[in-house]
Structure 1
Amino acid sequence: MQSSNPVLNRLGQAARQERSQVQPPSFGAPPGYGYPQSGYTAPSATRAMTIDDVVVRTVALLGVTGIFGAGAWALLPDTGGVTTLALFGSLIAGLVLGLVISFAQVTNPAVIIPYAALQGVLLGVVSRWYEHAYSGIVIQAVIGTFGIFAIMAVLYKLQILRATPRFTKMVIGALVGVVVLSLANFVFYLFGLNLGLRDYGTEGKVGWLPIVFSLVIIVVAALTFVLDFDAVEQGVRQGLPEKYAWYCSFGILVGLIFLYWEILRMLSYLRR
């Protein structure tokens, strides 16, 4: 079965090719042909990943993110060179590492776990700033993030939302659109202009346009979980090796962090 997700199709082809490289011995062949005859155990077939594998790895990545986030929150000073270095260092390194994992389809936990740690540092520093400005906002954002994730999981389980080819194209197109608009707004802001899609201040009331745009991003971020759930389901059906569970967990982690940032921003608008 071909998935509507082209990444999963490529991963499935790679997995099948990987398994085909292990050739069984030729029965009836003379001694010395095929596997060595002594001191050798035939390699076991690669175990296919399961949904439980993805769940366990996702929880592990969230744990790493939480630990490093709490450490950055508690140990780094409010201001200073060390905090600034941690902020921009984790931002840049996390962005580069995330792009490498995404485009190279990395399944190595030695690369994915450091990404979770870097995101934790970034989350810890920025979340503390939001908490100082708007007391209680962080726990509200966390509850909102996992609440939306749970709702999307139920909707997918009940087959109310499915990752059809049309749905996938719409969500990816919307995701690219909001990201491009957000970046364009920020670039204009750096040059003294503002498209009005974002409010970068901390005081005064916020207009309706940034609130609506933030709501749109939250909806798009929530819908990306349908693609993540479908990727896991199709990966299990295609029999991808266990290691690909790390790649699926990485995708879910990215979605959760993206949603958390936008809910945090939205709540700050409403507080003002």
Structure 2
Amino acid sequence: MSNPVFSNSQVFGQRRGAAPVAYGQAGGVAADAATLEQMYSAPTATTRDTGRMTYDDVIVKTGGLLLLLIVVAAATWQLAPGIWPIGMVVGLVLGLVNSFKREPSPALIVAYTVAEGVFLGGVSLAFQTMTLDTSTGNAQPIVLQAILGTFATFGAALFLYKSGRVRVTPKFTRFLLIALVGYALFSLVNFGLSFFMASDGFGPLRNGAMGIGVGLLAVGLAAMSLIMDFDAIERGVRQGAPARFAWTAAFGLVVTLVWLYLEILRLLAMFNRN
């Protein structure tokens, strides 16, 4: 798996074709016709009835976390954009803690979301300021464009996955893993060189055409990571994962969406910088 949130969990880590994990005890006696008829006519079981994760759980929790993220980001933008480095550090620490926890902690996941909101609010303003036209005092609306681009990419990735046009195969997984490791090493080198070499604000290895090319590659990798996340969530639901792991699924999606948003925002800043 590419996203450590899912790959470090036994609930989401199994691949297609593997023996399913049993989270509940199945009955060993075959049901008769009357029992089957009663089962089919009964109302749909809810999460409270089954104690298992559902897609609705994941959607509600993901939507709630994204709403909180946007509210905190907007407040930081207006009130204290300069504290974004604190949000970045705290978000990184909490992200790692949540990624490697065996059991999800809603409180820590919410805390991560708040920290990321602080980070995104400040860094979004900084990127948009790069596009400021000093003669008119107007800046390009790259933040709104990045938000729309993020949700459009999310929708496209979900459509491609659900329609079967893109499948998570071992080859797909290996390619994405190698590409992500390569991109992570490239980013670390770029960050290190930024202390010794001049750049346009994105690091010396992300200037000009090369920077745009790397940015487009990163957006593609983030979109592929979303598809991997969808596959992990589908496995979790199919295998009857406990309901509490909907928090893990929502957290994993938020992590990937934050990365995707930042890559799109960076690209737009490169295109529109004055």
Shift of 1:108: 1.7
Structure 2 distance, partners of 1:113, 1:89, is 16
Shift of 1:18: 7.4
Q: Deviations over 1:157-177 (max 9, x none)?
A: 101111112211211221121
Shift of 1:149: 0.7
Q: Which amino acid aligns with 2:64?
A: A
Aligned 8 A contact 2:23 2:240 in 1: no
Q: Secondary structure at the match of 2:243?
A: coil
1:108 aligns with 2:113: no
Structure 2 distance, partners of 1:201, 1:157, is 35
Greater CA radius of gyration, 1 or 2? 1
Shift of 1:90: 1.1
Uncovered stretches (5+) of structure 2, i.e. residues with no partner? 1-5, 15-19, 26-47, 132-138
- The residue correspondences of 1:165-180 to structure 2 (distance < 5 A) are 165-180=170-185
TM-score by length of structure 1 reads 0.77
Aligned 8 A contact 1:12 1:238 in 2: no
- The residue correspondences of 1:205-224 to structure 2 (distance < 5 A) are 206-224=207-225
In structure 2, the residue matched to 1:132 is: 129
Which range moves more in the overlay, 131-140 or 208-217? 131-140
Q: Deviations over 1:58-84 (max 9, x none)?
A: 0000011011111111112x6xxxx3x
Q: Which amino acid aligns with 2:176?
A: V
In structure 1, the residue matched to 2:55 is: 51
Q: Secondary structure at the match of 1:173?
A: helix
Shift of 1:130: 2.1
- The residue correspondences of 1:25-174 to structure 2 (distance < 5 A) are 47-76=51-80, 83=82, 86-134=83-131, 135=139, 136-174=141-179
Aligned 8 A contact 1:100 1:106 in 2: no
Count the aligned residue pairs: 231
Aligned 8 A contact 1:107 1:244 in 2: yes
1:184 aligns with 2:189: yes
TM-score by length of structure 2 reads 0.77
Structure 1 distance, partners of 2:130, 2:190, is 23
